[in-house]
Structure formats: structure tokens, C-alpha cells
A and B are shown apart, each in its own frame.
Chain A
Amino acid sequence: MKRRSPTLWTGAVLAGLVVLLALVSLVWLPYDPADTSGGRLAGPGDGHLLGTDKLGRDLFTQLMTGSRIALEAGLGSVLIAALIGVTLGVLAAYAQGWFDDTLSALLDILIAFPTLLLAMLIVAARSATLGSAILAIGLAQSAVVARLTRILVKRVLAQDYITAARTSGTSWPRITAGHVLPNIWPTLVVNLALQFGLAVLAEAGLSYLGLGAPPPNASWGRMLQEAQATFTTAPAGALAPGVLLVLLVIGVNLIADGLRDVLDPTTRRGRAAA
């Protein structure tokens, strides 16, 4: 049943690197994140693997806590998007008439609504925290997930096996749990993996603009922003978070690609028929 997918493995290794950094950061950090004793803008080496930032804090330490923030942002947003998006999408697919129309229109508006504007509204209502950023990104993404879910569910509902299940009097909850969710799951998982990568990027963007986790939490986006002014003299401060960001997003996208091959029931079926 299981197929090895090189894409999946490459992706897992790339993203795994970031996960490893984040996990280690939970139990050990080279320096205290607030420790400014390293001297301003020290170069790599000399007790600081990547050097220090303009306040004298260890860059590698910030990179490690940053990877935790990036993963939290990705997971948190996708969790919100999955919970709200799948629920709304399934409801919209089952609903007919005005409820379906209203919901579809709302989703279209929410999708067209810039995430940045949504984030600024939420930050204005709450405050600039990682939680606010995750909420904004998650809400924006739940609209995308809901729309996809609605289409996927509608497609499954049109299949004969659903009619056959209804013919034998199977209830809607049982049909949903037994037939609908398992059949939309493969496509949905792939999309959620892609959304994870987008959420990581979005959080970095919001932090760059000061709408994410406040200092001293070192989000990669804020590290980029802080290192921007001194990029020519001390490039490591901007390069390091940039490279990790790219690695994680590429890794997650490769995982999504790999999952598509492994989970897609049509390729599985195609293989059996071949």
C-alpha cells in the first residue's frame, strides 16, 4: 500500500531540520535570548556561531526560538483553518438554497479581504502578539479551506456510492464520517500542508511589519527587519532567518507534493488497474 516518495522524504528532511532546532530550543539554548553581553554586531565565531545582532544578542539563539515561532504560526493557523474551514465547507455543501449562497458569498468576500488588513484589525482589537497573527492568518485561510472543502464534498455527494448509502437508509452523520470525510481527506491534507507553508510566510511578513510576536520573541520576520539596516556590514543577521524560512517553506511544499502522490486515491486506483 505504502509507496516511497523521494519528494516526501526530501521535504521531511528540510522541514525536520527546523523542527529539530525548535525542539532543542525548548530544553537548551546557547545563550539567554535577552543576553546582550556578546557585543554589537559581532561576526560569526568567537563563541557565537552566527555572531550577534545590533543589540549584542546571539543570532543562533534567536534563530532557534524563531523556528519555534514559525512552527507555532504554521500549526496554529492551519489548525484554525482546518477546524473552521472544514466545518463551514461541509455545512455549505450539504446546505441548499439561500444558506449555501450566503455562505459562498461570505467566503468569497473573506478570500478577497487582504490578510494584512484583517491582521491590523485584529491587532488593533487585541494587541500585537503571536496569537493575534495566528488568528488573522487562520481566519483568512479558513475561507480558502472552506471553499475547497465545499467543492470536494459536493463532488463526493454526487457519487453513486453516496446514493447507494442513502438507498439503504444510512444517516447523514454516518455518511459524512464514513464516506465523505475519508474521500476528501487526501486532497484536503495536501492543501493544508500548502497552507502551512503560506502561514509561515504570512507570519514572517506580519512580524516584519511589527504585527506579530513582540520583542524579545525573535520571529524570523522581525530578525529580517532588524538586520535590514546593517545588511551590508553584517549580512548573517538577515541571511540566516531568510535561509531557514526558505528551507521550511520549500520543505513543507515538497511534503505536500509527496503527500499528493502517496494519498491520491486515483493514482492508487490507477496503479491497481495497470
Chain B
Amino acid sequence: MSALLEVRDLTIRTGTGRALVTGLTFSVARGERLGLIGESGSGKSLTTLAVLGLLPDGMTASGSVVLDGTQIIGASEKTLAGVRGRGAAIVFQEPLTALDPLMRVGRQIAEPLRRRRGVTGAALRRAVAEALERVRLPDPARIARAFPHELSGGQRQRVALAMALACDPALLIADEPTTALDVTVQAEMLDLVDTLVRERDMAVAFVSHDLAVVARVTDRVLVMKDGHAVESGDVHEVVRAPREAYTKALVDSARQLESALDSFGGAQ
């Protein structure tokens, strides 16, 4: 069986022709959990957007991106609308901007549910409540009626996760979903993502600049730097024996952070 996501020689350029991502090749099998790591600005977010044909205005992608059997590059808006959501859905980094500030949370989750399952009315309301419960949000009825600004950052991020899961995607793309959260909330969110995708055999592309985070929830990692793939392989292999200097630096800084956190945690 072919891979769920097959990216070959992906290059992303700005309108002026500057290459932001160059010759990137990787794949994600069904149910596989891939980590995408690299420092800020290395092109991780653009790569995930290109997977769904959602690059910002003026940017162009070349190469090949096949998601769930559909070629994304050069596809019509209609084809894209068909594969988005079903093929892959994204959870974004910033929980404040990922939700419409003026729309009640319930309605925002209802939209993909309605589209994906064709339910309406009371059945739709029930589905919304279930979706909120699934991401461990307490009192789903109250949360559904709330506006984003009435929720905490962690709660908002769970809502965003619920929205992405409501699409029932074959691939969940999580673009630094924990970076903007407090450390404790971060750990809960990671566990939640981990549990939910394992439960449904969903594939994950987990993006982070933090190797320690990626190592917890993925099997394989792809290390990026300046729009290039630097190294890839089994996550534990890479952490134990990084081949590239850049990866080594990432591992070291993750270690330092870890030990700093440990000594800090011991003092608490």
C-alpha cells in the first residue's frame, strides 16, 4: 500500500522567487507518527501548509505532494476542498488566532461536523458536545456556548484540536500545538494528542522546534534547517546518535533544558 502522504522534492518560493523550502522529500504512512523539527524559521509551517495547498498568497510550490492519493500541487480549489479535512487537518500554534474571536466555540466545531457527517439540529449539538468531551473539556455545554476569549489558552487549544479531529482526518498535522502553552498544560496537551491519535490509528505530523517534545509523541523524525532536510530516522536513534552537527546541537540543547527542568522540578 502506498504512503498516506508522499512529499517529493518539494520547493516553496515566494512571489519574488526566493526559495524558503528546497527539495524536501519525506513520507508518512497510514497510522505513522512523524516529527518535524528544526529551529524557528526553518520552513516547518510552510511545509505543512503546502500539504493542504494552503500557502499564503503569492507563494508557489513545486515538486510533488500526494495526500491520500490526490496530487495537491497544481490541484483545483474544488479538488483541494475534497481532500482537505478528510485527508489532513491542522492544529495551529497560536490558540488565540486559531479560533474566530466572534463566533461561539460550538458553532466553530459544528461546521466541520456538519460537512463531514451530514448531521444537523439536535444530532449536531450532541456531536459537538461529544467532540468537546473527547478532548477532555469539562462542562461541554458551557464551553460550546463560550466565545474564545472566555476560555484559557489550554482550553482554546483543545477546542482547536476538537475542530481538527471533527474532520476525521487520516493525517493530523499539529504545528507546534503546545509551544504557546504553560509547561504543565503543555504536557497534558501532548498526552491528549498522543492518546487520541493512537486510539484511532491516525497518522500524525508533529511539528516542533523542541526535540524533547517530538520524541514523546512520534516514531520517526525529520530534522529541518533553512528549508532543507538535514537528517531523518527513528526518533530514538536520532536522539541517541545524531549524525549531523545541527541535530547534535538540538539534542544538546534539549538535554540541557531537560536537566534544568529536572533540577528545577526537584526544588519545587
Contact = CB atoms under 8 A, between A and B. Distances in A.
Interface in A147-196: 158-161, 163-171, 174, 178-179, 182-183
Nearest to B91: A164
A3 interface: no
A273 interface: yes
B226 to A, nearest CB: 24
A161 B98 contact: yes
A2 interface: no
A272 interface: yes
A40 interface: no
B36 interface: no
Interface in A11-67: none
B193 interface: no
Contacts of B92: 160, 163-164
A228 to B, nearest CB: 49
A158 B55 CA distance: 11
B54 A163 contact: yes
Contact of A178 (B49, B103, B163): B103
Nearest to B94: A160
Contact-residue size bin, chain B (C-beta under 8 Å from the other chain): 35 or more
B56 A164 contact: no
B98 A168 contact: no
B127 interface: no
A161 B100 contact: yes
Contacts of B255: none
A170 B111 contact: yes
Contacts of A174: 111
B149 A182 contact: no
Q: What's the dominant secondary structure at chain A's contact region?
A: helix
B115 A160 contact: no
A158 B116 CA distance: 25
B84 A166 contact: yes
Contact of B57 (A96, A159, A183): A96
B85 A167 contact: yes
A227 to B, nearest CB: 48
Contact of A169 (B103, B108, B115, B149): B115
A270 to B, nearest CB: 9
A168 B115 CA distance: 8
B115 A170 contact: yes
A123 B151 CA distance: 56
Nearest to B113: A168
Interface string B55-91: 0111000000000000000000000011011101110
A260 to B, nearest CB: 16
Contacts of A171: 81
Interface string B31-57: 000000000000000000100101011
Interface string B123-163: 00000000000000000000000000110000000001001
B84 to A, nearest CB: 5
B103 A167 contact: no
Given A161-B99, A167-B88, 6 more contacts: A160-B98, A164-B90, A168-B89, A169-B85, A178-B100, A182-B102
Interface of A: 96, 158-161, 163-171, 174, 178-179, 182-183, 265, 268-269, 272-273
